[in-house]
Amino acid sequence: MAKKVDFTESLKQEIDPIISEEEKEDTLNINGFVIKKPDAKKQKVNFVVYTEKEKLNNLDKIAKKNGVSRNELINQFIDYILENN
């Protein structure tokens, strides 16, 4: 019988060649997007975004799985888009 592989461990194996030892504890690679633990607080403002309930539920699952808040996850998505556009 095949050994069940832990999801987090399999992701760590995928990113081993990509990031340094120091970065491994602070990041997790999901489909090419690296989710990082939050850095120091910067001044932030709020704004309202409307979305479907299913999208919100999926964001919450991803955030929980990676140990960050939904807000932090969305901010990292925004940073990624701004840096790569």
Residues 8-45, buried b or exposed e (16+ Cβ, 10 A)? eeebbeeeeeeeeeeeeeebbeeeeeebeeeeeeeeee
- Check pLDDT > 70 for residue 49: yes
Percent of the chain whose pLDDT exceeds 70: 56
Is residue 28 assigned to a domain? yes
| Containing structural domain, residue 16 | 7-83
Q: Structurally, how many domains does the chain consist of?
A: 1
Q: What is the mean pLDDT of residues 57-73?
A: 93
Is residue 1 assigned to a domain? no
- Check pLDDT > 70 for residue 83: yes
Q: Which residue has the higher pLDDT, 9 or 49?
A: 49
Average pLDDT, the chain: 75
Q: Which residue has the higher pLDDT, 4 or 6?
A: 6
Is residue 2 assigned to a domain? no
pTM over 0.75: no
DSSP symbols for 12-56: HHHHTTTS-HHHHTTEEEETTEEEE---S------------HHHH
The C-alpha atoms of residue 81 and residue 26 are separated, in whole angstroms, by 20
